[in-house]
Amino acid sequence: MVRWELFKLIHQRRTFLGLGAAAVVPILFLVAVRITREGPPPGEAPFAAQLLSNGLVIPLITLAFGSVVLLPLLTVLVAGDAIAGEVSAGTLKTVLGRSVGRSGLFWAKAAAVEVYALCVVVVFVGVGMLAGWLAVGFEPLAGLGGTPISVGEGIALTWASAGLVALPLLALAAFAVFLSSVIHNSVASVVGGVVLILLLQLVSTLGLGGLLDPYLLTNQFSAWLNLMRDPIDWAPIVRAAWVSLLWATISFLAAWAVFVRRDVLS
């Protein structure tokens, strides 16, 4: 069932749009930097001072900016359509008419969406790293605390950072699947996921979260920066892992409860 859901996913236009955007954006950023010979101010982006001389910085800066809006948007673009798209097309009732249990179908769709979210991060970081290497080459990094990071360690830490960013993305995908199960409207589900991210970012920026601020989903996207410190600050990293897991678990269980009980009329 998971293979079939993945097969359907890779034949959808929005899947290619999402992965295509994840591949194009790092290249456009690199081209803009090479043309203007300027990047973001050092105070606004990590490693910005090394941008023009070290290609390994490209995936790190694009990851920092992309995790704010772009990656969440590309994730909910597909996750919000997981169930609502079947309802809109009138195919969900046909699928359930076969010897397929609702729970099995739901978790297969959930797994396919999570695989897509992971692919978005892999393409985004992988293309940025390849483009940076071809354009400038790799040099040792200066960590956020000033400690040198070798090229090999920098590559490993970049992929570890991508994995940390993927955790809240997976949780966001789960929330979009929940909206897709409840609303049965792809556009509303996608917009709902984007609104959640923007709202949580606004709450955090204005300092309205109070004691809950460290546990907002959007604040987990920046936990990867702690990998670039010496010594590594593990507390935000561990918190990002369990907070993302909690968000994903609650969202998926709520979506599953709705999906297995709701009448399918089309």
CA distance 221 to 200: 12
CA angle 161, 145, 245 (to 5 degrees): 30
pLDDT of residue 23: 95
3-state secondary structure 221-261: HHHHHHHHCCCCCHHHHHHHHHHHHHHHHHHHHHHHHHHHH
Per-residue pLDDT of the chain (266 residues; tens, 9 = 90+): 788 888 888 888 889 999 999 999 999 999 988 888 777 776 667 787 788 888 899 999 999 999 988 999 999 999 988 888 877 776 766 666 566 678 888 898 999 999 999 999 999 999 999 999 998 899 998 888 778 889 999 999 999 999 999 999 999 999 999 999 998 888 889 899 989 998 988 888 887 777 888 889 989 999 999 998 888 889 999 999 999 999 999 999 999 999 888 765 55
Phi and psi at 100, nearest 5°, equal -125, 125
Which pLDDT belongs to residue 72?
94
Buried/exposed code over 161-190 (b: 16+ C-beta within 10 A; e: otherwise): bbbbbbbbbbbbbbbbbbbbbbbbbbebbb
224: which 2 tokens? Answer: 């990867």
For the chain, the structural domain boundaries read: 2-261
